[in-house]
Structure 1
Amino acid sequence: MNPIKTALVGFGNVGEKTHAPLIQACPYLELCAVVERSQQKSKVKYPHVEVYRSLEALLEADAADLIVVVTPNDLHFEQAKLCLEKGKHVLVDKPVTISSEEAIILKRISEENERVLSVFQNRRLDGDFKTVQKLIDEEKLGKLVHFESHFDRFRPQISENWREKDNLGNGITYDLGTHLIDQAVCLFGMPKWVKAEIKVQRENAIADDFFDIILGYDTPYVRLTASVLSNAPMPKFLLQGYKGSYIKYGLDVQEKALKAGIAPEGDDWGVEDPSGWGKIYFADNTKSIQTERGDYRDFYLNLAKAIMGEEKLMVKIDEAINVLKIIESAFESSKNGQKIDL
């Protein structure tokens, strides 16, 4: 069949550096249109695309069957809703909406129109996360008692990015917390309760820039944390079990490659150098653990095949709704200083 005509709504840093190259790399998709309000940056790399000044103009032209929404979080709901009502398949960059109630509405509309609706949870395809999944599945550490996931950066200066402005859905919890929570739920299912500290630590900052979230399971103890004021090496993952502990430093290699403009091509895409591999500390020895190959290309490949009816969707809207419910509970917990039952 012909490639699925795909449009990108938003051509900021994430749209340009991440989504457009991954769409181009998928043989079942054709990037044919981009919505840019005032520029035509997309035509520099993709001269064949048609540029539209608004989502409404794109939909009026009926130029694409799959719409990828990569705009500020507070625009996601209305834009995705409009696309679904026009009978389009929709992928929304995470988080799908700001509230679980909005996401439930989108789910209903997608089902009524028999359209695919998904969320860009690409970090399920990080090499380090796939390694953690394998270690848990194979019980390499024995019974797991502690799981810790970090996403730390050092950005002491407040930027002009919309995520740092006084917008709904701003801040690090909606940005990075969405990834860490999604990964934890993939591994352990929905927690029984949430306990969180969400803070604004930088002077004159508006948006939250630190979180420490505990997800309540019988076992293991699950801690998710992120900071923009962390300039010392911190583990990305720390797992502890009866047989030993696994620790992994550094982020998945794909984001850095995409930001550098490296096309997602070839068999070596997503392969981490051995110097970055994590280690298991057993009682009597230490062992380096090869990082599984990460591949964000698989996300768009699955999305295309789900639209064609050939595969089950990797990231389902129900999963995104659960993540939003946890985020909402985390903010409530931080505000009230209490554990919130789910």
Structure 2
Amino acid sequence: MQLVKVGLCAFGMSGKVFHAPFLKEHPGFFMTAVVERTKQESKSKYPVSTIYKSVAEMVQNADIDLVIVNTPVQTHFEYVKMALEAGKNVIVEKPFTVDVSEAETLVKLAKEKNLFLSVYQNRRFDRDYLQVQNMIADGKLGTLKEVEIRFDRFRTEPSTKEHKENPQLKGSGALHDLGSHLIDQATQLFGFPEKLFADVFSMKGSAFANDYFEILLFYKNDLRVRLKSSVFSKEARYAYILHGDNGSLLQERSDNQENELVGGAIPTFNEDWTKPRTEPDGILNYLTENSETERTLTSSQPGNYMNYYQEIYEHIVFRSALPSTGSEIIKNMKIIEAALESSRQGKVVELKDY
């Protein structure tokens, strides 16, 4: 099996939870290098990985084929550019960059260097999203008319992370953070909308970056898709609500991969590794071919973030399709920028201008 040598740009939560465990367990990857500026926490679990004090040092000196940029979003442009100029393929954490201009520059550079650039949209591999995707494909809902996707939390106190909380820093706030997931899911399911209206602000006060957003996406054929997130949501709600002309689907946000990884779970290659659910996580209510109402409790199948890395590996070795290309995610960045503009102006924004 061809071995892909990887360098990890940081060993914080993202590195410990979403990247290093999968690189270790996938037989096609080898985490050759990791950046830790002051600590050596990676040594206990990844003793053969060389620790570098800076991204520049790692990119210039490490024997690596692929760089994973999992640092704060405000540094993404600098580090992705650095890696591409050094001749390395790149995976960059969402939300890619702070704005469309930076994203377009990086996509252009990757093309010039004949390198690939993929954005880590791991929630395409959540069990709940995959269930929604399957239910839409099944056709029981008929023609969709109204969809809501939300990602709520109860975190009323600001975090200590400056890059996420400081409203003066471009790319801070929930819209770039959680919004990048919801927007990606909407565009994957329904494509690029025609226009939008958005409300984006901070419930904790103007001293903090936005922690609330509501975006209404307008599609052809009168489909409306609403994306919403709040940090003042103590009681869980259905994360996906879909209404069509033949039925409705209510789907919980039930994927638990992140929590299990934080708790020390080891992801496995080519098999499910998450704990099985014991209860249904959705409701499907639709009209049968005989126009009778059928209401059933539904159960999603396990998701697996390992599948993202498997798709990366297959692209490297077999030249199969690259997941979440930079050029594809630029469209999501355009929606983020349009949402901020819509909120500032208090009006509908046409996306043909983006």
Aligned to 1:169: 171
- Structure 1 equivalent of residue 286 of structure 2: 282
Q: CA deviation at 1:136?
A: 0.9
Could you say what the CA RMSD is over the residues aligned between the two structures, in angstroms?
1.5
**2:77 corresponds to which residue?**
77
> What is aligned with 2:186?
184
* Contact 2:128/2:300 (8 A) holds in 1: yes
TM-score, L = length of structure 2? 0.93
Q: 1:100 to 1:204 in 2, by over 3 A?
A: closer
Q: CA deviation at 1:315?
A: 1.0
Which of 300, 312, 331 is residue 309 of structure 2 equivalent to?
Answer: 300
Q: Is the 8 A contact 1:271 1:292 kept in 2?
A: no
**Counterpart contact for 1:32–1:49, Cα < 8 Å:** yes
Residue 211 (structure 1) aligns with: 213
Provide the C-alpha distance between the structure 2 equivalents of 1:165 and 1:11, rounded to a whole number of angstroms.
22
Partner of 1:109: 109
Residue 329 of structure 2 corresponds to residue 320 of structure 1: yes
Checking the alignment, whether the CA contact within 8 Å between 2:34 and 2:51 is kept in structure 1 is yes
Query: Unmatched 5+ residue regions in structure 1?
Result: none
Structure 2 residue aligned with 1:336, among 345, 348, 352?
345
The answer on 1:60 being equivalent to 2:56 is no
CA distance in 1, matches of 2:94, 2:251: 25
Percent identity reads 37
* CA displacement, residues 62-117 of structure 1 (integer Å, 9 cap, x when unaligned): 32110000100000001000100110000000011111111111111111111111
| C-alpha displacement of 1:204 | 6.4
Partner letter of residue 102 of structure 2? E
When structure 1 is superposed on structure 2, of 98-107 and 265-274 the one drifting more is 265-274
Q: Report 1:148-163 matches (<5 A).
A: 148-162=148-162, 163=164
TM-score (normalised: structure 1): 0.96
1: distance between equivalents of 2:85 and 2:113?
7
Cα distance in 2, alignment partners of residues 224 and 271 from structure 1:
28
Q: Give yes or no for contact 2:238–2:251 (8 Å, CA) kept in 1.
A: yes
In the alignment, is residue 250 of structure 1 matched against residue 259 of structure 2? no
1:114-169 alpha-carbon deviations (Å, 9 max, x no partner): 11110000111111111111111121211111111010000011110231234321
Q: Residue 251 of structure 1: CA displacement?
A: 3.5
Corresponding residue number in structure 2 for 1:273 = 277
Measure, in 2, the Cα distance between the counterparts of 1:62 and 1:8. 11
CA separation of 1:272 and 1:247: change in aligned 2, threshold 3 A: farther
State the SS of the aligned residue for 2:178.
Answer: helix
2:265 corresponds, among 262, 266, 277, to: 262
- Structure 1 equivalent of residue 290 of structure 2: none
Deviation (angstroms), 1:281? 2.2
Is 2:252–2:282's contact at 8 Å kept on the other side of the alignment?
Answer: yes
Number of residue equivalences:
342
Structure 1 partner of 2:96: 96
Paired AA for residue 254 in structure 1: Q
Amino acid at match of 2:272: D
Q: Given that residues 127 and 270 in structure 1 are in contact (C-alpha distance below 8 angstroms), is that contact kept between their aligned partners in structure 2?
A: no
Cα gap change, 1:195/1:272 in structure 2, threshold over 3 Å: closer, same or farther?
A: farther
CA, structure 1 residues 341+271, in 2 after alignment: closer, same or farther (shift >3 Å)?
farther
Deviation at 1:254? 1.1
Structure 2 distance, partners of 1:188, 1:68, is: 29
Taking the aligned partners of 2:39 and 2:280, their CA distance within structure 1 comes to 39
Deviation at 1:321, TM superposition (A): 0.3
Task: Tell me the SS of whatever aligns to 1:67.
Answer: strand
Q: Deviations over 1:288-317 (max 9, x none)?
A: 222032111010111122122431112111
Distance 1:230 1:337 in 2: 24
Q: Specify every segment of 5 or more residues in structure 2 that has no aligned partner in the other structure, as ranges.
A: 288-292
Q: Equivalences for 1:1-40 in 2 at 5 Å?
A: 1-40=1-40
